[in-house]
Structure 1
């Protein structure tokens, strides 16, 4: 443990702060040596015009940055103009789409109304045709019933007449019918 403490104490005693305890303008004083080295370094910098070079470099960098900022502003303004143009086009396209949808709806409504009218007309035509068919069928049925009734009546009268007529009356009736037909034909 003592060995560790002694070297640490020796390291603390040999620092530059302990060496600066003599006269200031002596080469043994580290503060003076550091000051001289710093002034010499500054003199070398001034001799080689490093501050002017640094100033020119900083001015050039500032000019470059200013140019980049101007270019960035220009690009930003161009981008904003382009964005506004696209937004305007988007609104125009949206308005056109709305008009197309509106027109399509109105055309669909007109088509639906026309289809409804056409359907009603078709139904009316079919109803009229069906009524005509019903009336025709009804008339045919009435004719059939009349014809059937006439046939039944003729058959019944034939039977009645046949039972009540004598053979002489039949011959006279046939002769009269022949004369009547002959008169009508000539």
Structure 2
């Protein structure tokens, strides 16, 4: 290795310097991995864009979502599903959210904000449901599926940790020779 150095701050307010081991939250960048994974499952004819959620997740607790929302609606934020970033979510003890299904209580019983396909509204909850679809169809945990499909493929070793404020995870990746 010719140079190994970190620059900048991991926390601008506290002026905490970055280190070569600093982990960064990916936040909504994780949606890219989710969308690509869904499209690959479609390409393999395991699911389809116009498939209703209930056909894949027959026990999904919200009847309207089961019977009206398609994968396409979830992907393009036209499902009518809302968000899970509520006061109740932020009051959760750190470490209490360990799996995708742990997010469901924060939005699963909410009514659809509009009929699916009627309009656009950014939906983190919709991408939780897409993650659950990936788990169901692949028979793997979402995080394991993404790590295997993308990070192992490009020969990166990544140490992941689920963090409280994002169902996407923080990665510390090392390029393998």
The structure that is helix-richer by fraction is 1
The verdict on a shared fold, with TM-score over 0.5 as the criterion, is: no
Larger strand proportion, structure 1 or 2? 2
TM-score, length-normalised on structure 2? 0.17
